[in-house]
Structure 1
Amino acid sequence: MSNPEVLVETDAVTRFYGRHAAVSDMSFVIRRGEVLGFLGPNGAGKTTTMQMLSGNLAPSSGRVLIAGHDMHEAPEKAKAHLGYLPEYPPLYREFTVDEYLDYAAALRRIPRKARRAARERAKARCGLGDVGGRLSANLSKGFQQRVGLAQAIIHDPDVVILDEPTVGLDPIQIREVRALIRELGREHAVILSTHILPEVQASCDRVQIIHKGRLVLSENIDTLMARMESQALIAAFRRTPNLDAIGKLTGVRSVTVDDDGRVRILHEPGADPTDAIVRLAIEQDWGLREINPEHSTLESIFVELTGESPEAA
């Protein structure tokens, strides 16, 4: 492995269904210690990408590497470094939790003598310490989700792929799963596929948005948060202001009037003209009623890039 810190690498990955390109020329890397939020509307190619990353679907061209192993040339070695939780946990309802996790450990080729310790460690991390003897069929949706998560991490994989891991959970369980994701992200690479935008902001280090099979955004969460910081003001006046006079203030880039009559003032980063606008409004007797920063949100960025709301996605 050329770089042990790069745990996932896609190189110009493309997938065709007939003549339709579900995913086109997708390239990115994920390093150890990163939690990647993977977003996209329905039909964007997100599920296809997840299937290729997990080895369940071969790309038409390009390649996927997991911990340095080519998923096509060495699938067993690549998958040995991978844990996967699909949206619907793959449980056997007639198994107890302990039986199921022992079975998952055997599938992952954990030596027989080490399986009990691996099972108990996964149960402890997922809050399953008291339900080992219960049938999976008798567990709540939240506990079934935890069992699915335990099987994904029982072999301590380098890469963990989580598809909608908090669907159906109550707020306390969601908080616990987010804490576990952050814990996993300290030493592993985690890919979190979700449409719940607050979950991305709470759990992820990086964000990627896919639209029509192509990556349209790939940014560090801190960079994205800085991008979301306001670079515009929204002001309302009792009397019509002189837009040209506002436009000549230091740092102001453009001035427009919204449909509701409010004035939108776009300014340079770090050059907040609020005080100057207030002074000018008093001097010109425009009757300033309000002036507030306009903040972008992850939702507004998502809509801007894809043309769809997260709820529709």
Structure 2
Amino acid sequence: MSIRVENLKKIYGKQKAVDGITFNAEPGVLGFLGPNGAGKSTTMKILTGFIPQTSGKATVCDFDVSTQSLEVKRNIGYLPESNALYLDMYVKESLAFIAGIHKIHEPEKRIADIIEMTGLGPEQHKKIGQLSKGYRQRVGLAQAILHDPQVLILDEPTSGLDPNQLIGIRQLILDLGKTKTIILSTHIMQEVEAVCNHVIIINKGKIVANDTLAGLRAKNNGNTLENVFISLTNNN
């Protein structure tokens, strides 16, 4: 298993942001769904080493996120929802900077490959601050996959993309999922149905569904993913 999560908890004061969740992920695209405040981003931040868990265990490629954070970061690519970028850098310059951090062998060739893969060619000589939101999203994705990680964690990766860009990024995620483990968090159910082979739904810090798309529909009278999501999380 590329990712193992066992009884993971994150508590802020009296608030249980993540409440004892357990799941595994292997190569393929896992849809990680839930309403706002459900614990999705907290879980992803723990897996990427941005914040520590309160208790429980998580490993990425058999490396413990608490005690082997450097090895975890070598094996993981992360596109956060906020997608912080150096706006004054040119696209190629920013990728060269990231390549330097990861000590990538033959960085120029790798950068050229990634630019082609993410469709950044027409914009590669522009400053990131001059790019549209959709192209900035592509830069964030390019940075996440530049060091060829085994695990990708993508938080709203298609945010701000137009329909044409959406098709390209969706295909890229599908292609990457053939050999890598991808956790995809999004509120767009059509996106999940298009690229994910497994779905986890989290609500109020707890996992309320963990199944294949087909299995989830079969257990819920053949309903659409959107209807299943609403029925499992609409408990205000």
Q: TM-score range by the shorter chain?
A: over 0.9
1:135 paired with 2:130, answer: no
Aligned-partner residue type, residue 226 of structure 2: E
Aligned counterpart for 1:108 among listed residues 98, 102, 106: 102
Separation of aligned partners in 1, 2:56 and 2:26: 19
For the 8 Å contact 1:39–1:208, the answer to whether it is kept is: yes
Give yes or no for contact 1:66–1:79 (8 Å, CA) kept in 2.
no
SS of equivalent residue, structure 2 residue 100: helix
Q: Which residue of 2 aligns with 1:256?
A: none
Instruction: Label 1:187 to 1:136 Cα distance change in 2 as closer, same or farther (>3 A).
Output: same
TM-score under structure 2 length normalisation: 0.95
1:243-264 deviation line (CA, Å, top 9, x unaligned): xxxxxxxxxxxxxxxxxxxxxx
1:132 is displaced (CA, Å) by: 2.0
Runs of 4 or more consecutive aligned structure 1 residues displaced over 3 Å after TM superposition: 225-230
Please give the per-residue CA displacement for 1:2-40, whole angstroms capped at 9, x wherever unaligned: xxxx111111111111122111111111112x1011111
Q: Which residue of 1 aligns with 2:80?
A: 86
Given the alignment of the two structures, is residue 31 of structure 1 paired with residue 26 of structure 2, yes or no?
yes
Is the Cα contact below 8 Å between 1:38 and 1:194 reproduced in 2?
yes
1:155-184 C-alpha deviation (Å, 9 max, x unpaired):
000001111111111111111111111011
Amino acid at match of 2:112: E
Q: What is the CA distance between 1:228 and its match in structure 2?
A: 5.1
CA contact (8 A) 1:80 1:157 kept: yes
How many residues align structurally? 236
| Distance across 1 between alignment mates of 2:226 and 2:98 | 37
Look up the match of 1:148. 140
Gaps of 5+ in 1: 1-5, 231-295
Q: After the TM superposition, which residues 1-313 of structure 1 pair with which residues of structure 2 at under 5 Å, given as runs?
A: 6-32=1-27, 34-111=28-105, 114-227=106-219, 230=222, 296-307=223-234
Q: Cα distance, 1:222 vs. partner? A: 2.6
Between the aligned partners of 1:210 and 1:218, the Cα distance in structure 2 is 9
Unaligned runs of 5+ in 2: none
| Secondary structure in structure 2 of the residue aligned to 1:48 | helix
CA contact (8 A) 1:41 1:308 kept: no
Displacement of 1:79? 1.0
Alpha-carbon shift at residue 41 of structure 1 (Å): 0.9
State the one-letter code of the partner of 1:224.
L
Amino acid at match of 1:64: A
- Which shifted more, 193-202 or 12-21? 12-21
Question: Larger C-alpha radius of gyration, 1 or 2?
Answer: 1
Q: Percent identity?
A: 42
